[in-house]
């Protein structure tokens, strides 16, 4: 496929190529976002059909997030090196094939393994989608493009519970995975035909496979310990896994500090803005991961909603993100990120606390309008306020040539936060292995879990208010020329950033 050329300054959102880029990235990232939320509504039915306990349901969610979080940095680096469009397309195809395996899984073991394979595909396509936007669009249009991507991609995540509920109550839970096949069939041809290729001209050196393996193993061991602790207690396996995970995490940090070409280069954290916004990301997405995992079960097991009813109950969040996320990105560009990154988590925290009103009787019309709707609407306002400015601020904190790395780190932080939250919240809230089968027990633990999620959001808001400033005040790194559109033309060389000036024997 011949690569398209564009204006030297970058593509405009209003151009035909710009619209194709936005559509492609939204389709691809929506597969990952949709899948990460649609699964939550299907969990009770999956547990009933496959005869699993709560731990298996946690692994059904976390196997995907584990490989995604552990490999997403490597996925971003592969895109920067070999072409963001190319790696993005490979990720979409991989994700679709793994989704097919999920859809035909005969038991929980195969389903969990297939979910882990899905995460590998997600690690390739997720950073690539955002990096394509950052590398392709004119600087003046990037905030709007990110807003469109966040809005429509966020709709994919938010509409997941509704679509999942419709599928679970209709053809069955397996179709929540098979739904990805037609999305991939549309996305791949559009990407190959209309999206310009881009890569980092200065990306070089060996890939940090050791770092990726250490990071993933550390997360896996910690996750195992948290999930198994409620049933096994302080057994040698649980304690050994927890200690081993922490030790491997320490080794991972030391390895990344000493390698010539680390997967997680310490130099990127020289930007104070980049560092603090990723800490805010950890708080926000840990809270959201716990919320989405538990609220879908609460609506069905405790409030008495069907799977479709539970999904429909969450639709106001979808509508709000669809209507206002793009404008939120533009507003954040005008007023700076500090206010949105402070107000958004606080508003979302209020929405989570309002979820405490949801219980028996909330599945009536009056119960929905008094208990459920205020909670999901307030949460939606909070997400609209924070998501697009959060993403735009992360990317604005580094130079364009490191877009794949920056989006990879931010996505890794988000997924790892959700992973740990799904594993830890049932333990912290005292949720037993069979809690999702008992309305009374689950309701009691849900009332303990939601204030924990809200507290994380408050912490994130406090950090944002104390540390985040407008992008031009952040520490900026050395700009590097990038082949964003027509890679047959070599950009004039500039002095490379410190992490690219390595010894020849490391290349």
pLDDT at residue number 110: 94
Q: Which residues of 213-241 are buried (b: 16+ CB within 10 A; e: fewer)?
A: bbbbbbbbbbbbbbbbbbeeeeeeebeeb
Residue 315, CA atoms < 13 Å, CB-side half-sphere: 13
Instruction: Compute how many other C-beta atoms are within 10 angstroms of the C-beta atom of residue 45.
Output: 19
How many residues are recorded in the chain?
507
pLDDT digits (tens, 9 = 90+) for 451-504: 999 999 999 999 999 988 765 533 343 333 333 333 333 233 333 333 333 333
For 149-159, what is the mean pLDDT?
A: 67
d(CA 462, CA 341): 9
Q: What's the confidence (pLDDT) of residue 448?
A: 93
Cα gap 73→117, rounded to integer Å? 16
Task: Write the burial class of residue 172 (CB in 10 Å: 0-12 exposed, 13-18 middle, 19+ buried).
Answer: middle
Q: What is the pLDDT of residue 477?
A: 39
Residue 120 sits at φ, ψ, to 5 deg, of -65, -45
Q: Identify the band that residue 358 occupies on the pLDDT scale cut at 50, 70 and 90.
A: very high
Q: What is the pLDDT of residue 200?
A: 66
Strand partners, 454: none
**pLDDT band, very low/low/confident/very high, at 29 (cuts 50, 70, 90):** confident
pLDDT reported for residue 113: 94
More confident site: 115 or 487: 115
User: Comparing 160-174, 278-292, 458-472, 475-489, which segment has the lowest mean pLDDT?
Assistant: 475-489
- Rounded to an integer, the average pLDDT of 25-35 is 79
For 198-249, the pLDDT digits (tens) are 776 666 667 778 888 888 888 889 888 888 887 767 788 889 988 998 999 8
Six token digits for residue 314: 């969450």
- Percentage of the residues of the chain whose pLDDT score is greater than 70: 85
CA Rg, the chain, in Å? 22
| Neighbouring-strand partners of residue 137 | 11
Predicted local distance difference test score (pLDDT) of residue 201:
67
Degrees, nearest 5: CA angle 268-262-223: 95
**Mean of pLDDT over the chain:** 80
Cβ distance 70 to 216 under 8 Å?
A: yes
pLDDT digits (tens, 9 = 90+) for 123-144: 888 877 777 887 778 777 777 7
Tens digits of residue pLDDT in 392-443: 888 777 776 666 567 778 878 888 888 888 888 888 888 877 777 888 888 9
Provide the pLDDT for residue 100. Answer: 95
- Start-to-end CA distance of the chain, whole Å, equals 29
Contact between 400 and 134 under an 8 Å Cβ cutoff? The reply is: yes
* φ, ψ at 202 (rounded to 5°): -100, 5
Nearest partner of 64 among 31, 87, 93, judged by Cα: 31
pLDDT(112) > 90: yes
Which of 480, 477, 44 shows the shortest CA–CA distance to 268?
477
Report whether 39 contacts 176 (CB < 8 A). Answer: yes
Q: Would you say the pTM of this structure is higher than 0.85? A: no
- Backbone φ and ψ of 11, nearest 5°: -80, 150
Measured CA to CA, the distance from residue 263 to residue 266 in angstroms comes to: 9
Considering only residues 199 and 75, tell me which one the structure prediction assigns the higher pLDDT: 75
- At residue 401, the pLDDT reads 62
Q: Which tokens is 71 given?
A: 């490999």
Question: What string of DSSP letters covers 369-438?
Answer: IIIIHHHHHHHHHHHHHHHHHHHHHHHHTS-GGGHHHHHHHHHHHHHHHHHHHHHHHHHHTT--TTGGG-
pLDDT computed for residue 281 by the predictor: 92
| Helix axes of 108-136 and 403-428: crossing angle, nearest 10 degrees | 140
Task: Provide the pLDDT confidence category of residue 319 given band limits of 50, 70 and 90.
Answer: confident
Q: Which of 73-87, 348-362, 380-394, 471-485 has the highest mean pLDDT?
A: 348-362
């Amino acid at each position: 496929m011949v690569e398209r050329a564009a204006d030297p300054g970058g593509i405009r959102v209003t151009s035909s190529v710009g619209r194709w880029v936005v559509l492609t990235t939204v389709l691809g990232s929506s597969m990952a976002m949709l899948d990460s939320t649609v699964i939550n509504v299907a969990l009770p039915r999956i547990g009933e059909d496959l005869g699993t306990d709560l731990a298996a349901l946690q692994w059904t969610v976390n196997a995907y997030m584990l490989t995604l979080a552990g490999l997403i940095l490597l996925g971003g680096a592969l895109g920067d090196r070999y072409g963001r469009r190319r790696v993005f397309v490979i990720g979409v195809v991989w994700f679709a094939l793994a989704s097919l395996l999920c859809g035909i899984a005969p038991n929980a073991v195969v389903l969990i393994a297939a979910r882990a394979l899905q995460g590998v595909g997600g690690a390739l396509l997720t950073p690539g989608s955002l990096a394509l936007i950052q590398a392709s669009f004119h600087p003046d249009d990037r905030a709007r493009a990110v807003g469109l991507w966040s809005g429509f991609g966020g709709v994919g995540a938010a509409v997941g519970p509704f679509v999942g509920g419709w599928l679970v109550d209709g053809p069955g839970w397996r179709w929540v995975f098979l739904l990805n096949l037609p999305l991939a069939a549309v996305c791949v041809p559009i990407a190959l035909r209309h999206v310009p290729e881009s890569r980092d001209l200065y990306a070089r050196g060996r890939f940090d496979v050791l770092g990726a393996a250490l990071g993933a193993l550390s997360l896996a061991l910690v996750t195992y310990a948290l999930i198994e602790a409620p049933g096994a207690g302080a057994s040698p396996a649980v304690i050994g896994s927890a200690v081993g995970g922490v030790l491997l995490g320490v080794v991972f940090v030391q390895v990344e500090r000493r390698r010539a070409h680390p997967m997680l280069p310490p130099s990127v954290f020289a930007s104070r803005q980049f560092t603090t916004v990723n800490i805010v990301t950890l708080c926000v997405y840990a809270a959201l991961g716990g919320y989405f995992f538990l609220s879908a079960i609460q609506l069905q097991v405790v409030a008495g909603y069907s799977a479709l009813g539970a999904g429909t109950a969450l639709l106001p969040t979808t509508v709000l993100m669809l209507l206002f996320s793009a404008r939120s990105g533009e507003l954040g560009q005008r007023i700076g990120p500090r206010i949105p990154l402070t107000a958004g988590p606080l508003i979302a925290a209020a929405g989570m606390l309002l979820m405490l009103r949801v219980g028996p009787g909330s599945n009536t019309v009056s119960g929905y309008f008094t208990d459920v709707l205020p909670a999901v609407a307030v949460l939606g306002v909070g997400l609209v306020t924070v998501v697009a400015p959060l993403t735009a601020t992360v990317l604005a904190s580094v130079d364009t040539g490191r877009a794949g790395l920056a989006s990879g780190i931010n996505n890794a932080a988000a997924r790892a936060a959700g992973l740990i939250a799904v594993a830890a919240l049932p333990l912290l809230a005292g949720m037993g292995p069979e809690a999702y089968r008992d309305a009374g027990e689950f309701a009691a633990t849900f009332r303990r879990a939601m204030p924990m999620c809200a507290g994380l959001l408050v912490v994130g808001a406090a950090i944002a208010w104390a540390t985040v400033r407008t992008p031009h005040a952040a520490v900026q790194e050395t700009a590097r020329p990038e082949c964003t559109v027509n890679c047959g033309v070599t950009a004039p060389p500039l002095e490379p950033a410190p992490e690219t000036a390595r010894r020849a024997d490391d290349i």
